[in-house]
């Protein structure tokens, strides 16, 4: 009872805590670098799905499981956060991917399973089997692809109709200046046309910066010119995340007003199993830092790992206030202090947090001491507001 009273008192102080900056204002705006405003006159269609759309979930709870089937890819885009390419051979063991889907079915809030890479369609047979399995559990299914395989209309149609038959619900396609070095415009047109013909909603993601030629607007014009019905095509522009290979690009976006740095709206909502069997708490744009790993399929389960991540103070801190705020706080007394304004995206800040052992140690200590009460209070407030829910687990697969 005393604890409840104390918690209620803390709640009453909420506005004061906000004013003092002790609490973050609200951890639920998008930070996924989606360009929010557009001067290109682009019509924004509704995104294909909401249930499993991590960036659109206003609740910190797992809704989407991503499986990175492979980091192998026919392309080697300059901005690739996974540094994928034809010579990369890291590919998940199909039985591990299958077990991840079985285990995700026990987490009631997960609505969608997405297969991504690298290029997941390098393994079409395995992809079909996994999509069918996910569908049997009632998940929505998505592939994230570059369309490198859609070299002609017949092939594109054959592949997509076969995936649709297996249970594919939607496609997320990427195309921009960096992709165009490796993927032909014709492949993109074939993929989009074939998705529309097969009734598969398709979202097209276009990475832009101030010097890029390909834009949402130019692709829209291309599809109209090809007489494609674009009412079922959702086109979205995003900014480049300077992680992975993109770190080699000389790009300073820190003064770009569109840059979004703040609470991470992917962490704890969209966990990932990567080709090494590592479990990450988010879409895994920085897959190679051990500190962000929440589990390993070799010795833990998806359920255990995600449940444990909800108890991890650093992961919660990333969800509530974002990695840039953490780095600013934890690097203050080091030889290289970094301010939140130094980062051009949340994932870049996360890479700094997890690649600097001293900063990570400081952050862990602060989260357990000075910041402990603030994090607990934020969690309580968001729980009471219904915007933070630890995963609810079914006791058996049969219960689903």
Assess 68 for contact with ligand SF4 (CB under 6 A): no
170-174 and 112-117: which strand pairing? unpaired
Q: Is 113 in the site for ligand SF4 (CB under 6 A)?
A: no
Give the three-class secondary structure for 115.
strand
Candidate list 80, 150, 233, 302; residue touching ligand SF4; CB under 6 A? 80
What distance in Å separates the CA atoms of residue 127 and residue 178, rounded to the nearest whole number? 26
Interior angle at CA 370, CA 369 and CA 373, nearest 5: 85
Instruction: Work out whether 33 is an interface residue with ligand SF4 (CB under 6 A).
Output: no
Query: Which C-beta is closer to ligand SF4: that of 282 or that of 297?
Result: 282
Among 27, 48, 52, 118, binds ligand SF4 (CB under 6 A): 118
Does 146 sit near ligand SF4 (CB under 6 A)? yes
Q: Which of 355, 365, 371, 265 is nearest to 318 (CA)?
A: 265
Q: 135-151 burial, b if ≥16 CB within 10 A, otherwise e? A: beeebbbbbbbbbbbbe
Q: Does 323 bind ligand SF4 (CB under 6 A)?
A: yes
List the one residue from 65, 75, 171, 366 that touches ligand SF4 (CB under 6 A): 75
Q: Which of 24, 91, 157, 174 binds ligand SF4 (CB under 6 A)?
A: 174
- Of 219, 282, 325, 330, the residue at the interface with ligand SF4 (CB under 6 A) is 282
Smallest distance from the beta carbon of 71 to ligand SF4, in angstroms? 8
Residues 333-362 that bind ligand SF4 (CB under 6 A): 346-347, 350
Shortest separation between residue 124's beta carbon and ligand SF4, angstroms: 16
* Residue 196, Ramachandran bin (φ over 0: left; ψ between -120 and 50: alpha; else beta): alpha
Q: Does 188 bind ligand SF4 (CB under 6 A)?
A: no
CA distance 55 to 280: 16
Residues paired with 313 in a beta bridge: none
264 belongs to the binding site for ligand SF4 (CB under 6 A): yes
Which residues touch 53 (CB under 8 Å, ≥6 apart)?
A: 47, 63, 64, 112
CB atoms within 10 A of CB 155: 14
**Residue from 17, 60, 77, 100 that binds ligand SF4 (CB under 6 A)?**
77
CB of 309 to ligand SF4, least distance (A): 10
Residue 262 found at the interface with ligand SF4 (CB under 6 A) = no
Rounded distance between C-alpha atoms, residue 296 and residue 315, angstroms: 17
CB-nearer residue toward ligand SF4: 17 or 292? 292
54, 64 contact by CB (below 8 A): yes
- The contact set with ligand SF4 (CB under 6 A) reads 73, 75-77, 80, 82, 84, 117-119, 146, 174, 179, 264, 266-267, 282-283, 285-286, 318, 323, 346-347, 350
């Amino acid at each position: 009872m005393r604890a409840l009273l104390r918690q209620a008192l803390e709640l009453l102080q909420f506005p004061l805590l906000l004013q003092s900056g002790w609490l973050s204002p609200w951890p639920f705006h998008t930070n996924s670098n989606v360009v929010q405003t557009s001067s290109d006159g682009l019509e924004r269609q509704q995104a294909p799905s909401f249930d499993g759309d991590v960036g659109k979930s206003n609740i910190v709870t797992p809704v989407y499981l991503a499986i990175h089937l492979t980091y192998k890819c026919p392309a080697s885009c300059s901005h690739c956060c996974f540094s994928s390419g034809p010579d990369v051979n890291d590919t998940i063991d199909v039985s591990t991917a299958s077990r991840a889907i079985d285990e995700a079915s026990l987490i009631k809030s997960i609505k969608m399973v997405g297969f991504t890479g690298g290029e997941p369609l390098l393994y079409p047979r395995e992809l079909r089997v996994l999509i069918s399995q996910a569908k049997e559990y009632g998940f929505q299914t998505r592939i994230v692809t570059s369309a490198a395989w859609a070299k002609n209309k017949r092939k594109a149609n054959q592949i997509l109709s076969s995936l649709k038959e297996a249970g594919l619900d939607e496609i997320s396609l990427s195309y921009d200046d960096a992709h165009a070095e490796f993927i032909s415009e014709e492949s993109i047109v074939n993929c989009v046309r074939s998705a529309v013909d097969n009734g598969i909603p398709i979202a097209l993601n276009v990475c832009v910066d101030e010097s890029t030629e390909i834009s949402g607007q130019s692709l829209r014009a291309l599809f109209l010119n090809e007489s494609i019905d674009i009412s079922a095509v959702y086109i979205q522009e995003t900014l480049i995340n300077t992680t992975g290979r993109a770190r080699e690009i000389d790009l300073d976006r820190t003064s770009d007003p569109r840059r979004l740095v703040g609470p991470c709206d992917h962490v704890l909502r969209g966990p990932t199993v990567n080709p090494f069997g590592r479990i990450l708490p988010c879409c895994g744009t920085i897959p190679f830092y051990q500190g962000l790993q929440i589990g390993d399929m070799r010795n833990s389960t998806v359920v255990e790992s995600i449940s444990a991540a909800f108890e991890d103070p650093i992961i919660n801190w990333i969800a509530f206030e974002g990695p840039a705020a953490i780095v600013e706080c934890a690097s203050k007394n080091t030889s290289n202090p970094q301010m939140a304004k130094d980062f051009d995206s949340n994932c870049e800040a996360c890479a700094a947090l997890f690649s600097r052992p001293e900063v990570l140690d400081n952050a862990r200590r602060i989260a357990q001491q000075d910041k402990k009460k603030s994090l607990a209070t934020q969690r309580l407030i968001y729980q009471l507001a219904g915007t933070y829910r630890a995963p609810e687990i079914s006791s058996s697969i049969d219960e689903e």
